[in-house]
Structure 1
Amino acid sequence: MSEVILAQSAGFCFGVKRAIEMAYKQIENNEKTYSYGPLIHNKEVTGDLEKKGIAIIESLDDIDEGTVLVRSHGVGKALYDAVEEKGLQIVDGTCPYVKKIHNIVKEHHDLNKGIIIAGNSHHPEVIGINGWCENEAKMIETPGEASALELEQGAEYIVVVQTTFRQSRFDEIVEELKKKNIRLEVFNTICSATEKRQTEAVSLSQNVDKMIVIGDKKSSNTQKLVEICGKNCENTVHIETICDLVLNNFSKNDRIGITAGASTPPAIIKEVVVTMSEAFDNAVQNLEGSEEITFEQMLEDSLVTLHTGDVVKGAVIQIVNEEVSVNLGYKSDGVIPRGEFSNDPSVIPSKEVQPGDEIEVFVVRVNDGDGNVLLSKKRVEAQKGIEDVEAAYNEKTVVTGTVTEVVKGGLIAVVNGVRVFIPSSQVSNRFIEDLSVFKGKELDFNIIEMDRVKRRIIGGRKALVEKEISVKKAALFSSIEAGAKATGTVSRLTDFGAFVDLGGVDGLIHISEMSWGRITNPKELLKEGQTVEVYILDVDKEKGKISLSLKDRDMNPWNFVAEKYLVGTVVEGKVVRMVPFGAFVELEPGVDGLVHISQIANKHVVKPEDELKVGEIISVKVLEVNTEQKKISLSKRQAEAPVEEEVVAEAPAEEAAVTEE
């Protein structure tokens, strides 16, 4: 007994189906509509549409009103401009996969890049694509033409390909183009539905005795199916309708494969399959009945059935104002509002998907009130993500999420489309005042609480951070030692010093170890996030404490005091501190000397403040230097004495005597 096998992808692709749906909708609305060229390459369909009032035109010259329906193959930019100029309405039936090529070509042509189109230069799709680069593209169909193509040396080119082109031949063309001295960017724009149909045709034709390919003789993708099947099955026949089928060429023991081009209506396919099945007493399971049925009814039968809660695949048609339209193979298109695209509010739909992309969506409502199907992409992500999150919760594994919001009491992180709340107490092992530093960052954390019914999911990093710190601390304490140098990052500033992250463990630079000079606040020298080189002063492994310093001991200014400040020399310094018994004067950062109250002036001084001011620059004479005790004795009075003695020498003898007393 014979067996009839129908390829799953046989017949209308979503782009063709969409264009036909648009045409019949125009008929239902009684709108005067013109199809610019045949809507698809199928005489049965275009004939039916003409009978119902949709006229086929090749020029806009003879029409001044009505609507122009753009065929699924697409047209050049010039037609859109002409339609607008004449004030006509337009319904764009261009296949989203083809529209994607238009956008690519226009974008790169505007950047002055050369355009190469792999495809049949006489095919309406290729002609339309060329119209988006001012008809300046170089069109090739074979590897030989690619090899012979003359291109500007070193120039930038892109190559796109007709959606129904054979993948293997396109690969060969690309290899030839890569041999040329040009900068080439390749866009593989072969329709995924075409690729799937051709792959199925290869497999099916290799495993049957006879092969039937159904489709219009002018259809490019049908011709390619015939070519593919003919290579694998010598008994391959190409028919347009059941009238072309010669049953005498088949026998009862034949294994028969059937496929059809993208422009072949389901009514024609069903008629062939039913006829073959009845002829050889072997009906195909998924095609029941053989009663007469109109084309519109068959088109309706070919549409998918949708229910609220379904998860289905569709192709992106367009993105307008960040609202994504999707073809689902249903009688109405689906719409994804921006708020339903992603759980991450920063995601911009137009940057994530393009016309022609296949995506998985959740059906929120079959009719949103405007006749469209309301869809959600983020709910699909959430459904898949919730399983991953639950598995992580049960297995106590770590998940990675992106922080999208800073809310009262914590953070919101998205893990595979699932929103997880991380309380502020669980963000780290220590209090973090400003949580906004985490926004937009990826964080690793555990799921510490989960309730799917209430959709309550809580994440925590505290234990994870503590564990990471513990590991890092053990590694650091095993290698660090006093006297060594290290590089770290200032993690926190306080009034008494700065904490420096040495690689998971913080060390403290006390304010007294920040400079050889005086500072009143660590912020005078450091800021959080700054990279610093520090000296290890002490390591207390038991208490887990590390003392650090910014001061290089070899550059201690007291090492050079004896040479720089010789006894008897006069130097300048700044008054930095007053005490009851005198004033301290800074000679340089880190080196202070004392001017005793008796050495401030050539008179009795009650309080240092009566003669000096903090910040004042004065001249002092070095009286004594003790480097061991880090003490220098200074005298302001003696530094000024030479001037005073000169004045005394010029005074009368009796005044000089009084002064000496």
Structure 2
Amino acid sequence: MSKITVAQSAGFCFGVKRAIEMAYQQIENNEKTYSYGPLIHNKEVTGDLEKKGLTIIESLDNIFEGAILVRSHGIGKALYDALEEKGLPVVDGTCPFVKKIHSIVKENHDANKGIIIAGSSQHPEVVGINGWCENAAKIIETPEEASALDLQDGAEYIIVVQTTFRQSRFDEIVAELKKKKIHLLVFNTICSATEKRQAEAVSLSQNVDKMIVIGDKKSSNTQKLVEICRKNCENTVHIETICDLVLNNFSKNDKIGITAGASTPPAIIKEVVVTMSEAFDNAVQNLGGSEEISFEQMLEESLVTLHTGDVVKGTVIQVVNEEVSVNLGYKSDGVIPRGEFSGDPTVIPSKVIQPGDEIEVFVVRVNDGDGNVLLSKKRIEAQKGMEEIEAAFNEKSVVTGTVTEVVKGGLIAVVNGVRVFIPSSQVSNRFIEDLSVFKGQELDFNIIEMDRVKRRIIGGRKALVEKEISAKRATLFASIEAGVKATGKVSRLTDFGAFVDLGGVDGLIHISEMSWGRITNPKEILKEGQAVEVLILDVDKEKGKISLSLKDNNMNPWNLAVEKYAVGTIVEGKVVRMVPFGAFVELEPGVDGLVHISQIANKHVVKPEDELKVGQVISVKVLEVNTEQKKISLSKRQAEALAEEAAEEVVETEA
């Protein structure tokens, strides 16, 4: 018994199908419509459309009324301008993939980059693409042509490719161009449907005895399928309709593969499959009946059936004003309004999706009043998000959401389209005054409360943060020790010092350890968020405390104090602090000396303030230096006495 396998992607691609649907819709509306060139490379389809009133034209001459249907291959900018000048309405059936190429070419041509097109110079798609760079593109079809191409050294070029081009040949062309001394930007614009169809043709032709390729002889993508299949299966035949098929060339024991080009209608494929099945094993009975069925009826049968509430997959046609049009294989296109695209209001459709992308959608209404199918992507997100959240709640697992709003009492985070409220008390393990810092961030949290009926979902990070900190604390305390340096970030400033995040655990720099000099507030030298290198003074693992210092021991002014402030020398200093027993004088930042009350003046002093003021610069004599205890004894009285003696000696000498 023979086995017949039909390639899954055989026949119309969504771009061709969309253009044909537009044509029949125009005809149904009894509107005079012209097709600029044959709609597709298939005589059966174009013949049926012409019978119903579609007129094929190759020029706009003598056309003054009626709508112009642009075929899926697209047209150049000059033709659009001519249509606008004539005031003729346009029904644009250009394939979204081709539209994308037009945009790429125009944008780069306007930027003075050279344009290279890989494809057939005679193919209408390539002719149309060339029309978006003022017909200035260099068009090549083989690696040899690429090698021979005369390009300007050092110049910028881009290359795009005909949507139905063979991938392997395009790779060879690009390889040749990259050998040249140019700056080349490559845009692989081969249609994903074409890639899929060709890949299926390779796989299928390698595993059958005989291969049938259905499609018009003038169809470029069909010709490429024939080439691909013949490489793997010598017994490959190319037919346009069932009339071209010689059944005597097949036997009951053959494994037969069938594929079809993008311009081949479902009716023709169906007829071939039915005929082959009936001829060899009667496996398919009454498929389509014996009555004659028109192509339009066959096309209608090939369309999917939609109902409100269905979840279906489609292909993005275009995004206009952030409204997404989707081909569903239905007689009308689907539309996703901006508000139905995502539960996250910050998501911009045109930034995350483009023509040709496959998308899963929820059918809100089969007819939105304008003949379109109203769709929602947001509801799909919400359904999946709710399932994920419910599973996370039951399993006590972690979910990730994006913070979209800061509201009274907390944050709103969106998880796959579902809004979750995180109270301010659950945002962290400590109070956070300004929650706006979290807006736009992705956060991990647990679902701590859930009521699906009321759609009340509460998230919490407190336990998660504490767990993370405990793990980081354990890791940090196991690896640090006193005497080594570490880097961190200032997390909080207080009057008595600064807390530094060392990687999940805070250490304290006391104000006295911030500088060898005198400071009154940590803000004088540090700010929150600042990266710092610190010396670890002490680690108390039991209490979980880490003492830090910013002081560099190599810069310790006491290291040179004995030499710099030798006993008996007279130095200047600034009074910085008064105490009942004397006054402290700063000799340099980090080095203070004490003038005892008995050494302030050559008389009895009751209070230091009676003779000195804070900030006053005075001369003092060094009486004693103890670098270990960091103490220096000074005398203002003796310094003044020495000064007086020196003055008297000067007077006597002059006399």
Same fold (TM over 0.5): yes
Equivalent pairs counted in the alignment come to 649
What secondary structure is seen at the aligned counterpart in 1 of 2:587? strand
Separation of aligned partners in 2, 1:643 and 1:57:
118
Q: 1:522 to 1:251 in 2, by over 3 A?
A: same
Task: Quote the residue 2:428 is aligned against.
Answer: 428
**For each residue in 1:275-310, what CA deviation from the matched residue of structure 2 results, as whole angstroms up to 9, or x when unmatched?**
444555625379442322333322222211122332
2:630 is equivalent to residue 632 of structure 1: no
Could you say what secondary structure the match of 1:529 adopts? Answer: coil
User: For 1:599-650, what per-residue CA distance to the aligned partner results, in whole angstroms no more than 9, with x for missing partners?
Assistant: 76789988666765544x4232326344346243342896499589979999
State the shift of 1:195 in Å. Answer: 2.4
CA–CA distance in 2 between the matches of 1:255 and 1:646? 124
Contact kept in structure 2, 1:586 and 1:593, CA below 8 Å = yes
Query: 1:307 — aligned with what?
Result: 307
Residues in 1 aligned to 2:412 and 2:641: alpha-carbon distance in whole angstroms:
71
TM-score by length of 1: 0.87
Q: Which secondary structure state, in structure 2, belongs to the residue aligned with residue 180 of structure 1?
A: coil
Deviation at 1:189, TM superposition (A): 1.9
Task: Indicate whether 1:317 and 2:317 are aligned.
Answer: yes
Residue range with higher mean Cα deviation, 10-19 or 344-353: 344-353
Matches within 5 A, 1:400-439: 400-439=400-439
Which amino acid letter does the alignment assign opposite residue 56 of structure 1? I
Residue 360 (structure 1) shift: 2.4
| 1:498 CA drift (Å) | 1.0
- Mark the CA change 1:636 to 1:356 in structure 2 (over 3 Å): closer, same or farther: farther
Instruction: Measure, in 2, the Cα distance between the counterparts of 1:74 and 1:636.
Output: 102
In the alignment, the residues of structure 2 paired with residue 629 and residue 618 of structure 1 have an alpha-carbon distance, to the nearest angstrom, of: 21
SS at match of 2:50: helix
**Distance change (3 Å), C-alpha of 1:256 and 1:614:** same
Pick closer, same or farther for the CA change 1:423–1:57 going to 2, 3 Å. Answer: same
Q: 473-482 vs 301-310, which deviates more?
A: 473-482
What are the Cα deviations for residues 161-219 of structure 1, in whole angstroms up to 9, with x where unaligned?
21112223323333333343433333222222222223333444445554443322211
- 1:515 aligns with 515
Find the counterpart in structure 2 of residue 501 from structure 1: 501
Q: Is the 8 A contact 2:621 2:635 kept in 1?
A: yes
Which AA in structure 2 matches 1:427? V
CA spacing shift, 1:618–1:124, aligned 2, 3 Å: same
Shift of 1:526: 1.0
Aligned equivalent of 1:69: 69
Separation (CA, whole Å) in 2 of partners of 1:561 and 1:473: 40
In structure 1, what is the equivalent of residue 467 of structure 2? 467
Task: Report if aligned partners of 2:309, 2:363 keep a CA contact under 8 Å in 1.
Answer: yes
Q: Calculate the TM-score normalised by the size of structure 2.
A: 0.88
Runs of 5+ consecutive residues of structure 1 not aligned to the other structure: 651-661
Structure 2 counterpart of 1:630, one-letter code? K
Tell me the secondary structure at the aligned position of residue 38 of structure 1.
coil
| Superposed displacement of residue 527, structure 1 | 1.1
Tell me which residue corresponds to 1:328. 328
d(CA) in 2 for partners of 1:215, 1:244: 11
Report the AA paired with residue 408 of structure 2: K
* Structure 1 position 18, deviation (Å): 0.7
Confirm or deny that 1:294 pairs with 2:294: yes
Aligned position for 1:238: 238
- Residues 116 and 160 in structure 2, CA contact (< 8 A), matched pair in contact too: yes
Structure 1 residues 154 and 611, CA, compared in 2 at 3 Å: closer, same or farther? same
* Counterpart Cα distance in 1 of 2:633 and 2:497: 28
Deviates more, 1:269-278 or 1:290-299: 269-278
Specify whether residues 518 and 290 from structure 1 end up closer, same or farther in structure 2 by C-alpha distance, changes over 3 A only.
Answer: farther
Q: Which residue of structure 1 lines up, in the alignment, with residue 162 of structure 2? A: 162
2:620 maps to what in 1?
A: 621
Aligned-pair RMSD on alpha carbons? Answer: 3.4
Alignment of 1:487 with 2:505, yes or no, is: no
CA distance in 2, matches of 1:184, 1:395: 52
- Taking structure 1 as reference, are residues 166 and 479 closer, same or farther at Cα in structure 2, changes over 3 Å only? closer
- Asked if 1:36 corresponds to 2:39, the answer is no
Residues 625 and 631 in structure 1, CA contact (< 8 A), matched pair in contact too: yes
* Alpha-carbon distance between aligned partners in 2 of 1:11 and 1:273, rounded to the nearest angstrom: 13
Question: 1:286 and 1:578 mapped to 2: Cα distance?
Answer: 112
- Alpha-carbon distance between aligned partners in 1 of 2:591 and 2:637, rounded to the nearest angstrom: 17
Amino acid at match of 2:636: S
Give the 3 Å change call, closer, same or farther, for CA 484–311 of structure 1 in structure 2: same
What's the counterpart of residue 653 of structure 1?
Answer: none
Give 1:351's aligned residue. Answer: 351
C-alpha distance in structure 1 between counterparts of 2:325 and 2:98, whole Å: 16
The CA distance in 1 between the partners of 2:610 and 2:325, in whole Å, is: 85
Alignment of 1:1-150 (within 5 A): 4-150=4-150
- In the other structure, the counterpart of 1:186 is 186
Which 5+ residue runs of structure 2 have no aligned equivalent? none
- What is the distance in 2 between the residues matched to 1:337 and 1:194? 29
| Cα deviation code 1:11-44 (max 9, x no counterpart) | 2211011111222222233333322111111223
Letter in 1 for 2:159: V
Counterparts of 1:251 and 1:593, CA distance in 2: 113
Q: Specify whether residues 206 and 586 from structure 1 end up closer, same or farther in structure 2 by C-alpha distance, changes over 3 A only.
A: closer
Contact 1:568 1:621 in 2 (8 A): no
Give, in whole Å, the separation in 1 of the partners of 2:9 and 2:130.
Answer: 29
8 A Cα contact 2:278 2:284, kept in partner: no
1:41 is aligned with what amino acid? H
**The residue matched to 2:576 in structure 1 has which SS?**
strand
SS of match in other structure, 1:324: strand
Change in 2 beyond 3 A, CA 1:453/1:636: farther
Sequence identity, in percent? 85
Which residue number in structure 2 is paired with residue 172 of structure 1? Answer: 172
Question: Which residue identity does 1:620 align to in structure 2?
Answer: S
Give the counterpart letter for 2:513 in structure 1. Answer: E
Structure 2: how far apart are the matches of 1:315 and 1:529? Answer: 47
1:363 shift after superposition: 2.3
1:654 is matched with which residue?
Answer: none
> Do the aligned partners of 1:489 and 1:531 also contact (CA within 8 Å) in 2?
yes
Gap change, CA 1:553 and 1:196, over 3 Å in 2: closer
Contact 1:340 1:379 in 2 (8 A): yes
Go from structure 1 to structure 2 and tell me whether the alpha carbon gap of 1:455 and 1:624 turns closer, same or farther (over 3 Å shift): same
2: distance between equivalents of 1:20 and 1:137? 30
Contact 2:12 2:264 (8 Å CA) reproduced? yes
Contact 2:161 2:189 in 1 (8 A): yes
Separation in structure 2 between the aligned mates of residue 543 and residue 486 of structure 1, nearest angstrom: 20
618-627 vs 518-527, which deviates more? 618-627
Who is 1:591 aligned against? 591
Give the match's secondary structure for 1:492. Answer: strand
Give CA deviations for 1:472-505 in whole Å, capped at 9, x if unaligned: 3233323333333322221111222111122222
Distance 1:278 1:534, change over 3 A: closer
AA matched with 1:632:
S
Q: 2:539 — aligned with what?
A: 539
How far off is 1:342 after superposition? 3.0
Residues 56-102 of structure 1 show CA distances to partners (whole Å, capped at 9, x for unaligned) of: 22222322343322110011122122222333322211101111222
Rounded Cα–Cα distance in structure 2 between residues aligned with 1:484 and 1:121: 71
Q: Distance in 2 between matches of 1:408 and 1:286?
A: 67
| Matched position secondary structure for 2:551 | coil
Q: Partner letter of residue 145 of structure 1?
A: E
Shift of 1:514: 1.6
Residue aligned with 1:380, SS: helix
Post-superposition offset of 1:387: 4.6
SS at match of 2:546: strand
Distance change (3 Å), C-alpha of 1:279 and 1:474: closer
Question: What is the CA–CA distance in structure 1 between the aligned matches of 2:285 and 2:166, rounded to whole Å?
Answer: 31
**Shift in alpha-carbon separation, 1:82–1:570, aligned structure 2, 3 A:** farther
Instruction: Indicate conservation of the 8 Å contact 2:506/2:546, yes or no.
Output: yes
- Residue number in structure 2 paired with 1:282: 282
Mapped to 2, the partners of 1:574 and 1:291 lie a distance apart of: 114
> In 2, distance between residues paired with 1:255 and 1:480?
71
